[in-house]
Amino acid sequence: MLREEQKLSINDRIECIVISTPNNSHFEIAKQFLLAGIPVICEKPFTLNLKEAQKLQDIAKKTNTPLMISHNYSGYPLVKEMRKMIKDGTLGEIRQIFTNYIQGWLLPPLAKARMQQIGWRMDPKIVGLSTCLTDIGSHAEHLSRYISGLSIDSICADLTRSEGRVLDDSAAVLARYTNGAKGIYNISQTSAGEENDLHIRIYGTLAGLEWKQMDPNTVYLKRNGHPTEVIRAGTSYLSPEAQSLTRLPAGHPEAFVEAFANLYVDFFKVLKDRREGKTIHLENYEFPTVEDGVKSMAFIEAAVESDKKRQAWVKLRA
């Protein structure tokens, strides 16, 4: 495909590719297209390991070619609203972040019906160092960082592998952020009866915020001595940043697919600006970049290292 595209003039070539293959093929595909100057949208997890992620970061920088990681949860309007509220100081200084991402589909007795997918997801040659951390833990880490604006300094992780499995299917992670805040990540794909329970709570010195992906159009703002404030998607009191991601009136379900679309729309703004010859500054766009992919891989590697060292604290290397 790339060979045929390179035979065409720049104006006639495809404008980007989407990589939604298993993990072990992400690096080589992304590398070749980035070297050719063709923008890339890559499914998470970014790569098999941090070293590969950093190589792609270098290539993207040298070729000045955009790359987006599909952390679609950052495309929800109320996620954007929470991020804006924290930037504006509504919560004060962030002190605590609690992030749960709980599923049940990998529970061993129930997993036989989905053996084809489970087979490759439990193969280290295809998946890499981890199963649950690469699949859903990477989402939890990115979402926490995206909303709060904080970076993790170090983590302590305890990974669980169900009987007969070589890779983890649940994890408990303690985190220390660079500003002194503390965090807890509870990640599981073997919690019976759970569907897709991504749930984040962030607390500062002035207030707290709570959001659940399974009820994505509601955010709760909490203050001591005040009634809990309910913030809803599609309403006129939201920030322009959140309203710009909303397509439907208040009360109409708008969620997972639209969140993906919001990321794609912002990425396409880059493609349009490139086509028009404008200078690209990726910090002016909102989609998850190659730097986000590197940080997520650093989180996963540090968690696996911490678990191997019997829950020692490990600094992130990105």
Domain with CATH 3.40.50.720 in the chain: 2-72+259-296
Domain with CATH 3.30.360.10 in the chain: 75-254
- CB 87, CB 173: distance < 8 Å: no
Q: How far apart are CA 9 and CA 11, in angstroms?
A: 5
List the chain pLDDT tens, one digit each, 318 residues: 999 999 998 889 999 999 999 999 999 999 999 999 999 999 999 999 999 999 999 999 999 999 999 999 999 999 999 999 999 999 999 999 999 999 999 887 655 655 666 778 888 999 999 999 999 999 999 999 999 999 999 999 999 999 888 999 999 999 999 999 999 999 999 999 999 999 999 999 999 999 999 999 999 999 999 999 999 999 999 999 999 999 989 999 888 999 999 999 999 999 999 989 998 888 889 899 999 999 999 999 999 999 999 999 999 998
Provide φ and ψ at 220, rounded to 5°: -110, 125
Pairing mode, strands 40-42 and 17-19: parallel
3-state secondary structure of 270: helix
**188: closest CA among 197, 178, 180?**
197
Q: How far apart are CA 205 and CA 66, in angstroms?
A: 37
Please return the burial class of 39, using the count of CB atoms within 10 Å of its CB with bins 0-12, 13-18 and 19+. buried
Close Cβ partners of 278 (under 8 Å, ≥ 6 residues apart): none
Q: How far apart are the first and last CA of the chain?
A: 33
Q: How far apart are CA 43 and CA 22, in angstroms?
A: 9
Give Cα 84 distance to the centre of its chain.
18
The pLDDT value recorded for residue 110 is 53
Task: Select from 3.40.1410.10, 3.40.50.720, 3.40.50.2300, 3.30.360.10 the CATH code of 2-72+259-296.
Answer: 3.40.50.720
Cis previous bond, 45, omega within 30: yes
Locus of tokens 């890559």: 42
The pLDDT value recorded for residue 107 is 87
- Residue 156 burial (CB count, 10 A): 18
The pLDDT value recorded for residue 116 is 65
- CB 46, CB 71: distance < 8 Å: no
Does domain 75-254 fall into CATH 2.60.40.1120?
no
The pLDDT value recorded for residue 112 is 62
